């Protein structure tokens, strides 16, 4: 971590004085956890950062971390017993980054988007998260960070083994999980599916929960997994709302004539409500779209005729 700490100091960010071991132990009691080693080292180096735009997130002071933990627990914004994470960074716009402090995903980094507070792992450890921030463009938003997981290309054998081992534990937990835990666990299982095992995501397209379907569609699209073509088309036709949108967008990401044919076939069933998303998917497939007086139009080539997107 010393190299990362040195790089942070060289970014010109105003850092607070180091926390003492006594202060860290006191914070651990109030946060009801032991700080992961890499986070512990951070606070021994500096107790948070002043507000800045040098990186997508800034490190909270221990006092701020404790205050957020208490406020989130009181408001029930985050179920800390279930999510097993504590939050140590913010973008100062109600979004946070944290670390799993226990459970099968321990030491992995997660984000708490104020619009989506069901946390999935995003980075395998704090060091990789900090390194990604240090390598991000100036003034980059946290949503632009290149996440480590889910993988969009094959990882190293060591990374694959680690993700697969964690995924197996989560699958075992699903066998006896209470109903309120199932969505979180399935989402994490999908996220941690190694690239070469992408086919194992396909069964989740028929899950009874539309949010599980949505997660599966998103990752299949990002990985451009062509064997999912027909299954995605079926979800786009007859799935629940969120899943239909995600399936359309995933078909757009697959690109190619076969996925374009499926998208064009969806014109009959999309309706006005889903027309904007179908237009987005068509643009991703290389088509042009336009919107005029409440009606969407598309064409498959720059010299082709404009056609209404929906009947």
Examine the domain organization and report whether 20 and 118 are in the same domain.
yes
Examine the domain organization and report whether 27 and 117 are in the same domain.
yes
Tell me, yes or no, whether 188 lies in a domain: no
Query: Domain range holding 36?
Result: 2-144
Examine the domain organization and report whether 219 and 139 are in the same domain.
no
107-131 pLDDT, tens per residue?
Answer: 999 998 877 766 799 999 999 999 9
Question: Would you tell me how many other CB atoms lie within 10 Å of the CB of residue 305?
Answer: 8
- Does residue 261 have a pLDDT over 60? yes
Give residues with Cβ within 8 angstroms of 2, minimum separation 6.
Answer: none
Q: pTM value?
A: 0.91
Contact 80, 69 (CB under 8 A): yes
CA 259 – CA 37 distance, rounded (Å): 47
168-212 pLDDT, tens per residue?
Answer: 999 999 999 999 889 999 999 999 999 999 999 999 999 999 999
Tell me, yes or no, whether 168 lies in a domain: no
Closest CA to 150 of 203, 77, 200, 81: 200
Examine the domain organization and report whether 127 and 16 are in the same domain.
yes
Q: Among the three residues 127, 144, 161, which one is the final residue of a domain in this structure?
A: 144
pLDDT band at 24 (very low <50, low <70, confident <90, very high): very high
CA 192 – CA 190 distance, rounded (Å): 6
Highest average pLDDT, of 29-33, 70-74, 116-120, comes from 29-33
Q: Among the three residues 125, 144, 163, which one is the final residue of a domain in this structure?
A: 144
Average pLDDT over residues 18-28: 97
74-108 pLDDT, tens per residue?
Answer: 776 666 556 689 999 999 999 999 999 999 999 99
pLDDT for residue 117: 66
What is the average pLDDT value for the chain, to the nearest integer?
93
pLDDT for residue 217: 98
Average pLDDT over residues 275-291: 95
Examine the domain organization and report whether 28 and 105 are in the same domain.
yes
Examine the domain organization and report whether 120 and 231 are in the same domain.
no
CA 177 – CA 180 distance, rounded (Å): 8
Tell me, yes or no, whether 166 lies in a domain: no
Tell me, yes or no, whether 157 lies in a domain: no
Q: Among the three residues 144, 171, 186, which one is the final residue of a domain in this structure?
A: 144
Examine the domain organization and report whether 12 and 117 are in the same domain.
yes
pLDDT for residue 297: 93
Tell me, yes or no, whether 257 lies in a domain: yes
In the chain, pLDDT over 70 holds for what percent of residues?
96
Task: Report the number of distinct structural domains present in the chain.
Answer: 2
Tell me, yes or no, whether 291 lies in a domain: yes
> 107 or 12: which carries more pLDDT confidence?
107
Examine the domain organization and report whether 210 and 115 are in the same domain.
no
Instruction: Let me know the angle formed at the C-alpha of 13 by 7 and 14, rounded to the nearest 5 degrees.
Output: 130
Tell me, yes or no, whether 208 lies in a domain: yes
pLDDT for residue 138: 77
Question: Would you tell me how many other CB atoms lie within 10 Å of the CB of residue 17?
Answer: 8
pLDDT for residue 78: 60
pLDDT for residue 289: 96
**Residue 86 dihedral angles phi and psi, to the nearest 5°:** -125, 150
CATH of the domain at 36: 3.40.1580.10
pLDDT for residue 299: 94
Examine the domain organization and report whether 20 and 119 are in the same domain.
yes
CATH of the domain at 247: 1.25.10.10
CA 16 – CA 86 distance, rounded (Å): 20
pLDDT for residue 97: 95
Examine the domain organization and report whether 131 and 246 are in the same domain.
no
- Give the Å distances, CA to CA, from 228 to 45, 220, 287: 48, 7, 21
Average pLDDT over residues 219-246: 96
Tell me, yes or no, whether 28 lies in a domain: yes
pLDDT for residue 167: 97
């Amino acid at each position: 971590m010393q190299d990362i700490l040195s790089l942070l100091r060289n970014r010109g960010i105003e850092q607070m004085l180091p926390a003492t071991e006594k202060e860290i132990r006191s914070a651990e009691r109030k946060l009801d956890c032991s700080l992961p080693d890499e986070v512990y080292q951070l606070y021994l180096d500096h107790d948070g950062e002043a507000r800045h735009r040098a990186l997508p997130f800034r490190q909270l002071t221990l006092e701020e971390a404790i205050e957020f933990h208490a406020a989130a627990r009181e408001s029930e914004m985050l179920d800390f017993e279930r999510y097993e994470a504590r939050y140590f960074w913010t973008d100062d716009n109600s979004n946070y980054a944290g670390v799993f402090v226990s459970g099968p995903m321990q030491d992995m980094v997660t984000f708490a988007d104020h619009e989506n507070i069901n946390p999935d792992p995003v980075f395998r450890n704090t060091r990789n998260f900090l390194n990604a921030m240090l390598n991000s463009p100036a003034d980059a938003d946290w949503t632009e960070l290149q996440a480590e997981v889910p993988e969009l290309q094959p990882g190293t054998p060591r990374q694959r083994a680690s993700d697969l081992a964690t995924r197996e534990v989560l699958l075992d937990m699903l066998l006896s999980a209470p109903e309120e835990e199932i969505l979180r666990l399935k989402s994490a299982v999908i996220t941690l599916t190694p690239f070469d095992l992408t086919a194992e995501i396909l069964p989740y397209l028929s899950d009874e929960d539309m949010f599980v379907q949505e997660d599966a569609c998103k990752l299949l699209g990002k990985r451009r997994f062509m064997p999912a073509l027909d299954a995605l088309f079926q979800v786009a036709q007859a799935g629940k709302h969120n899943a239909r949108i995600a399936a359309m967008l995933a078909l757009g990401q697959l690109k190619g004539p076969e996925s374009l044919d499926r998208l064009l076939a969806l014109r009959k069933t999309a309706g006005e409500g889903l027309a904007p998303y179908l237009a987005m998917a068509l643009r991703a497939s290389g088509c042009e779209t336009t919107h005029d007086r409440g009606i969407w139009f598309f064409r498959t080539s720059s010299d082709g005729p404009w056609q209404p997107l929906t009947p």
